[in-house]
Chain A
Amino acid sequence: MRLTRRPRIKNLRAEAAQFRRRAVVAGVLVALALFGLAFGYFRLQVLQHEEYQLRSEANRIKPRPIVPARGLIYDRNGRLLADNVPAYRLELVPEQVGNLEATLQGLAELVELDEEDIARFHETRRATRAFRPIPLKLRLTEAELSRLAVNRHRFPGVEVVPYLIRRYPYGELFSHVIGYVGRVDAADLQAMGDSRDAARTHIGKAGLERYYEERLRGEIGYEEVETNVEGRALGVLRRHGARPGADLHLSVDARLQQAMVDAFEGQHGAAVAVDPRTGEILGMVSLPGYDPNLFVTGISHKDWQALQGPARPLFNRNVLGGFPPGSIIKPFMALAGLEMGLRRPEDTMLSTGEFFLPGQERGYRDWRRGGHGRVDLRESLAQSVNSYYFQLAVEMGVDRMDAWFGEFGFGHATGIDLVGEVEGVRPSRDWKRRRFNQPWYPGDTVNAAIGQGFWVTTPLQMAQATAALANGGIRHRLHLVKATQAGFDQPLVPEPQPPGVRVVKDPAHLAPVIDGMVAVVHGPTGTARSVGTGAPYRIAAKTGTVQRTSRRGNENIDPNALPYHLRHQAWMIAFAPADDPTIAVAVLVEHGGSGSRAAAPVVRRILDAWLLPPAEETAP
């Protein structure tokens, strides 16, 4: 240990020199750091410029979808059946909303929001990608709009968006033709995936709206919008225009459609009117109907419940409904007899009231006790003589019947431009084995001869087959859309249809059948002669009555005495004018009693509406 320490003396010169050295070192270090900084910026701004340029643009510019107007739907005379009207909806982007619960509560004070709205919002949200707007409430009222306008600043991420909403001016009248659009639901979103279509809020759910969805909705465009960090749009930079949906021009005539509904006078049932020359559907009703406008903004629980009754207003009987045809099958049987050479028109057959198969105890009855006496083809149709057709069917055999009716389109979907059409049942050995795993019995053939037993047909199939009788034996595809149009200033483009299929080999065979069908209405013995009186044109028709209760023993049941739901289904097919038909119809009246009493007046009213000069029309 040193006891003394030499005190250090302050050396000013040395300190100054020391400082200068240190200052140089520090200066060099600072310069190096600043050069490093300059290089760091060089890397960002020059070397990686393009990457950051892109990211800056992506920040700034957001694509915003432009949803085109949905195609309009017109009737054959240019009446507007489905329209687009402007409306406003409330949307929000959950990721841009600070506190979602608080925002929803705040909005509920300005806008009427019920639990269904909130539940639907959450459901849609689950199926939607992040940062996409989710509709909360459609069709805001004027009062709601003004309240939102005042309070908008309080709700970041919430937008009031103008859009076009579907409106069906005729309401119920076309419910089973046009169908409706509904809100896109979670399943639809899944189906559309991440495509631009996800910007849509509505999609065709039923009827033509669904069948022609792809063409009606057009192609979504988008615009590049400059947005700030809150997502507020500041201006449009570029537009990639949307292609509007195609307009549909239907063959349906709104006036006839209304007449068809009126013709039912409140009864339930279905009717199809077609132009036999082309397969164009002139009118198609299924009653009762419903108001498609209810579905556009999302149907309320209450309204939905009201549509669930036993009358099934949502059920399109023409397309989905299967019914045994009954006696209206007879003209086709008669024609088959002629075509196959089994009968000549003048061949007669004795109706005794009951028909027996060899070796069977059970008899198959005519509808008139004691029979119709000796009848030829004409009378067999006019009076609807069952035994004539029992005998014919036994001679023809089920296999030939099967092939014949198959040609006429029975057991097949008609291919109408609607979704979910059923095929019905054309009885055959094959079908019975598949369905019941049972052999075919001769009695089955006899039942099939008069449209009973296993038969199931739709009003559409009946209309298609009837048109083939009327037009000289050609089966046309039934269709609702006659032409499409890309825009109001564009030409109408006829919708292509498959060529008609000739199903009657010798058209000359049709004349005696038509003659018999005319006798149904105009003959002295015709089952529907009551409706033929006073008609300024000739009608060819056939009535049918389908039993809902089987006849037991020998008693004859008066169909009109039965409880309503057990009454017979009344059918009638018809075309007119008989010598040059311009309209063919198939009418089904549910629970209507006999075809002649219930369906025939409906048919007459429909034919009158089409063939007689129109009365003044009133706008919807």
Chain B
Amino acid sequence: MIAMLRWARDLVGRITDKLDLPLLLALLALMVISLVVLSSASDGNSRLVLSQGLRFAVGLGALVLISRIPPAKLRLWTPLAYAGSLALLSLVFVFGSGRSANLWLNLGVFYLQPGELLKLSVPMMLAWYLHSVVLPPRWGVLAVCAGIIGLPVGMVILQPDLGTGMLVLASGVFAVFLAGMAWWRIGLFAGLGLAALPVGWHFLMPYQRDRILTFLEPESDPLGAGWNIIQSKIAIGSGGLTGKGWGQGSQSHLNFLPEHTTDFVFSVLAEEWGWVGVVTVLALYLFVIGRCLWMAAQARDGYSRLLAGSLALAFSVYVIVNGGMVAGLLPVVGVPMPLLSYGGTSAVTLLAGFGMVMSVYAHRKFMG
């Protein structure tokens, strides 16, 4: 009996020995919060909560699994992963399904959003490439990086899925930034980007323009495009310091707040748990990001560092963009709140990403 328990403990220990406990605890805390908020926001729809729980379980499985893969092996597979995700993405154009945009690939058992895979494969590919060249990157290297980023981002935006495109772009840019791209080059790019804004405006879909205009002046069309933002702000503002209490959010329960289990779940949290809840969750996020950056810095090889670092920073983009969007501080972009929002492939990809970070940290001593 005792032997069996010991054997089980050993097994668990061997499986989890590559995990980082502080990071894991923070992630688990976020997932628990997600389930609690969702069980209120879904109005007692236990199927929705269960399915989110299942997603977390799958994601955690992926995390454990990936944490055991040494970064050297990951690096080996990187070009393949990148090419594969691009191939899946192009399949979406042929077989894709979705309400307003072709984002999903029906795999029979579940829907796959290839855009999600890019959030991992693009930083992997950049890390792979930058690992092999002399840093800090100069123009030639940057051009290749631009190609690695630009191809998938362009395809995603064409789908059109501005949110995912932006996140993929951000994760790529962070990799280049962490690789040490000179500040003057960054400045030059930023300047060019700003100058290109008016040109970019022409390439936006009408609904995307609407969102930006709505962000600039939400009250101009309170029953139309501005509705979501206004109702979300009402939900957040009415939550006050300590919130209305679990299950007491009138904005979400009476359906004034749209998409309150997915993109606007953070508004539900803000309404029911108040500013205290908001700050608690933001602190958890900050801890997760900071811990990941620190873990990345411990790595001995460039590939691991760049991969883990850019994943951590990409994660922060989710938080900032979604948190800013639901409070009307940023335009509405279809970006979920990481690990809180109900949905899709995002939770699984995110946890898989954290698996990579943990692998990098666990294997820090064996490379270099």
Q: Which A residues have a C-beta under 8 Å from some C-beta of B?
A: 8-10, 12, 15-16, 18-20, 22-23, 26-27, 30-31, 33-34, 37-38, 40-42, 44-46, 48-49, 51-53, 55-57, 59-60, 226-230, 234
Contact = CB atoms under 8 A, between A and B. Distances in A.
Contacts of B238: 49, 52-53, 55-57
Contacts of B156: none
B250 A59 contact: yes
Contact of B233 (A19, A22, A37, A44): A44
Nearest to A51: B237
A34 B134 contact: no
B53 to A, nearest CB: 27
Which of B135, B231, B237, B306 is most buried by chain A, counting CB atoms within 10 A of its CB? B237
Contact of B178 (A26, A40, A46, A59): A26
Interface magnitude class on chain B: 35 or more
A46 B241 contact: yes
B254 interface: yes
Given A22-B180, A23-B309, A26-B293, A41 B275 contact: yes
Interface in B166-218: 174, 177-180
A45 B236 contact: yes
Contact of B236 (A23, A52, A226, A234): A52
Nearest to B275: A45
Interface of B: 133-136, 174, 177-180, 231, 233-241, 250-251, 254-256, 270, 274-275, 278-279, 282, 285-286, 289-290, 293-294, 296-297, 300-302, 305-306, 309, 313, 316, 319-320, 323-324, 327, 329, 368
Nearest to A226: B254
Contacts of A55: 234, 237-238
A22 B177 contact: yes
Contacts of B305: 16, 19
Contact of B278 (A45, A52, A227): A45
Nearest to A52: B237
27 contacts: A12-B301, A12-B302, A16-B297, A19-B178, A19-B306, A19-B309, A22-B179, A22-B309, A26-B174, A33-B320, A34-B320, A37-B320, A38-B282, A40-B327, A40-B329, A41-B270, A41-B279, A46-B241, A48-B237, A49-B237, A53-B238, A55-B234, A55-B237, A59-B234, A226-B250, A229-B254, A229-B255
Contact of A44 (B133, B237, B294): B237
Given A41-B327, A46-B275, A51-B237, A30 B302 contact: no
Contact of A15 (B135, B316, B319): B135
B290 A41 contact: no
Given A12-B368, A26-B313, A48-B237, 11 more contacts: A12-B301, A16-B297, A18-B136, A19-B302, A22-B179, A44-B270, A45-B239, A45-B274, A45-B275, A46-B275, A228-B256
Residue among A20, A33, A45, A49 facing the most chain B CB atoms (10 A cut-off): A45
A312 B196 CA distance: 82
A12 B233 CA distance: 49
Given A15-B302, A18-B135, A52-B237, A37 B324 contact: yes
Nearest to A37: B323
Contact of A27 (B133, B136, B180, B293): B293
Contacts of A46: 240-241, 275
Given A12-B368, A45-B241, A60 B254 contact: yes
Contact of A45 (B133, B178, B240): B240
7 closest residue pairs by CB, A with B: A52-B237, A56-B238, A18-B180, A228-B254, A45-B275, A8-B134, A229-B255
Given A44-B233, A56-B250, A230-B255, A23 B297 contact: yes
